[in-house]
Structure 1
């Protein structure tokens, strides 16, 4: 199957192809969240150490974050459908390995392999959309569907995982990937086009090495600082990562065949969109982590109920990401982006209304409103970033887009999580708090003066993080209005 010609309206078959492209997106996003529910039973079965537990959870995200740009570039060269199916095969084999892992070390290796496969699936699926939908309006709608699938996967992952773990052993959370991937393998050759850019210049192996040496230590440092506080190892890894990223940018500026086209960053709309992706995911990711703790440790919901409470936000994210292009056509990219960021900012600031005794509906309303803002902005910035690149580089642009989302999530956990923890500990007043609310309740019990004080202190920390995130988003909205003044939406309609 070939891609539609420039400006051609997508056929019904192409729209069916879009449905097929959502399958790997759902799986990759689900596997970010589904494992949190399985960790207790994995601990009972495999007995991992505390360090191994962290690697089981984090190695998947590390590999995806480090390889997105590289895999997007490789897909541009060898064929986007080809690398999509190759990545799906790796992802499927690694899923089976993880399901039947005999030890914690084996599970970590399988999760790393899943991350490698996942890093091919995200940019390949997004760049294929650019080929399949050359008409800008239809492309925007298709990217909205893609964004909705990613948000939906993250939301339903814990729900599906909780239901399966209620009846089966922990390995089932990985085996559910296999039948979904089987559908992808059967349908993709008939419904998805192939696209490969005509590259004659050599592949940037030095850029790949420098990007990995920069991104992986940097992401590790951010997560280590968030989880364990300041340490020599985390600071050293972060410093090394920053040095390697500087070297990467220096190399990319001088090489004739760069892995990352730095000229894209001279486009104000492109750079503003990346900033929104970074700050938006930082706020959304950090507060998602904190509010999940709030629902369980403060309001007393179990894990599955807390997961279900995230569905209203997922619904609004999905709905408004699909229809964001309609708003853009009416008021333009600049106003739509700024307004969506302000909506998310208002809902984030509204979380200061959450208390130890708040009704669940307060949380549901605030997060649903936040989902409106995040849904619009995430869909639109993805469309803008992909649309900023010429057709032969849309895979690499997709990798840049997804990397900014990954880094934003990591920064949210580190910065907003650390802020909330600092406020929590500052409210100790001699109660003898442990390093976190969960540990404090484990040491002192769920009831009593210490438990009440700890919950109140955690809520204060949540408020501080919400204010910080809301202020950052508000500032970003103002910056977008200023930077994008007079700019137009980049339309490489050759997509």
Structure 2
């Protein structure tokens, strides 16, 4: 029997890929630029602390909550159509945010941006599956697509800084408008339409359950790490788990489920999704804590800390772009396992870093950790999408993106909580005697609060508090390094066992 070789993509498909990277680039810039524009927006709109937190967080909440539903919508109405609608909505919401005349208006605009953003990622990734049928070309296309996000995060502050120097704060949102206009104008020329050939109506109850479950999980995790143990936040997290369980059970009873349980019968799909969550979880831990170490523990100004993060960002890009060629020669399980070993070395190096050590050790350890994990995110995303039937490509892409969002939330919450717990235990033994109750309480909140409290003390006491806080944070940082090293060992085991070819798993693609 002759096996049909999938046709290779041509010039139109590669030009289409370039177009598909634009929405992801805008999403990355939009996610990173708000931090830079924060002082300008605060001066212009004067939000309360609560309003400002919602303006920052509602964007990510809406994206995470709506991904699964929007992936299913794309399967039914067409991924290109969803991309066109989402790009138009994103441009309109960007103008709304730029012209917001008050905090509530900005919050509403950011929510609309998140809702529109949730249409972009699953539709673009599903279109890549349709456009690139050759396995190696598809993996390369996914790598280019994912690298675009890293480039956007790196360039976001530079683009935002240039705009803020020349224009008002709303200009950081306006930059999305011409990019999305290009997507809408060129999309029909370069992108094919694709949809489920036998679409069914979306189950409304499942859609509501998926949105409520993901929002509860992400919100609960974020609040627990931000404000510490709290009964209300724990209840929100628990409700997310209950709603998620109800969603899974409902899918088994539906003729046309929102999330097809058949996808999870493939060992490759289950393993790839688990690897994606674990890989993003571990990488987020490093991305979350290394800048804090540089600025708070090492005392560097933001600009120098940002420059030292550049090699880590470049290693992420290098790992992503080389993943397809490595996987084509050695296979995805081997590449992911080897990458995990490289990351293990990086995390063990990070665990040895103490305050006062040369910073190149920290940067090298972080770069090794991220370099080893980057192929995992590319190859597992490709495997997740490729494991699903083409008619369900949007749903599979949405599950991939939702897994990534949960990995980020878990990384920040779990490792943030571990850092806080170790810091509190360690700093209590290092603080000098004779401090006031207020100073002790502030110092135990975290390193930033400790440094702020030290500024109000006499020089000798201030020096002791600063030294204690930085040493305690260094101990916490080392603990996280060892924890991430242990997780990468588990990641390698999952790759070796879960992605191993299995004759009885007909749905699994060849890695």
Fold match (TM-score > 0.5)? yes
The 10-residue stretch of structure 1 (265-274 or 381-390) with the greater mean CA deviation from structure 2: 265-274
Aligned residues of 1:68 and 1:120 also touching (Cα < 8 A): yes
Check conservation: 1:156, 1:311, Cα contact below 8 A. no
CA distance in 2, matches of 1:315, 1:428: 35
Aligned match of 1:41? 40
Secondary structure at 2:259's aligned position in 1? Answer: coil
Residues 27 and 153 in structure 1, CA contact (< 8 A), matched pair in contact too: yes
After TM superposition, list the pairs within 5 Å mapping 1:281-360 onto structure 2.
281-360=280-359
Cα distance, 1:167 vs. partner? 4.4
Distance in 1, Cα, partners of 2:39 & 2:11: 45
1:91-490 paired onto structure 2 within 5 Å = 91-429=90-428, 430=431, 432=440, 433-445=443-455, 448-487=463-502
Q: Which has the larger radius of gyration?
A: 2
Do the aligned partners of 2:37 and 2:169 also contact (CA within 8 Å) in 1? yes
How has the CA–CA distance of structure 1 residues 490 and 470 changed in structure 2, closer, same or farther, with 3 Å as cutoff?
farther
Match of 1:72 in 2: 71
Preserved contact between residue 287 and residue 416 of structure 1 (Cα < 8 Å): no
1:372-423 Cα deviation digits (max 9, x unpaired)? 2122111100110000001100010000000000000001110001110111
| 3-state SS of paired residue (1:223) | helix
Q: Deviations over 1:216-245 (max 9, x none)?
A: 111100000010011122011111111111
Q: Secondary structure at the match of 1:470?
A: helix
Are the aligned partners of 2:275 and 2:494 in contact in 1 as well (CA < 8 Å)? Answer: no
Structure-2-length-normalised TM-score: 0.91
Conserved in 2, the CA contact under 8 Å of 1:6 and 1:134? no
Contact 2:266 2:507 in 1 (8 A): no
| TM-score, with structure 1 as normaliser | 0.94
Q: Against the structure 1 CA distance between its residues 77 and 300, is the aligned structure 2 distance closer, same or farther, given a 3 Å change threshold? A: same
Structure 1 residue ranges, 4+ long, deviating more than 3 angstroms after superposition? 162-169, 483-493
Give the CA deviation at 1:328. 1.4
The worse-fitting range, judged by mean Cα deviation, of 119-128 and 323-332 is: 323-332
Structure 1: 5+ residue stretches without partners: none
Distance in structure 1 (CA, Å) of the matches to 2:166 and 2:300: 21
The alpha carbon displacement at 1:200 in A equals 4.3
| Change in 2 beyond 3 A, CA 1:479/1:91 | same
**3-state SS of paired residue (2:427):** coil
CA distance in 1, matches of 2:299, 2:40: 21
Cα 1:174–1:297 change in 2 (3 A) is: same
Root-mean-square deviation (Å): 2.1
Q: Following TM superposition, by how much is the alpha carbon of 1:50 offset from its aligned partner in structure 2, in angstroms?
A: 2.2
For the Cα contact (< 8 Å) 2:206–2:258, is it kept in 1? yes
CA shift, 1:53, in A, is: 2.1
SS at match of 1:487: coil
Q: Contact 1:159–1:307 (CA<8 Å) still a contact in 2?
A: no
Contact 1:31 1:157 in 2 (8 A): yes
Q: Is the 8 A contact 1:214 1:245 kept in 2?
A: yes
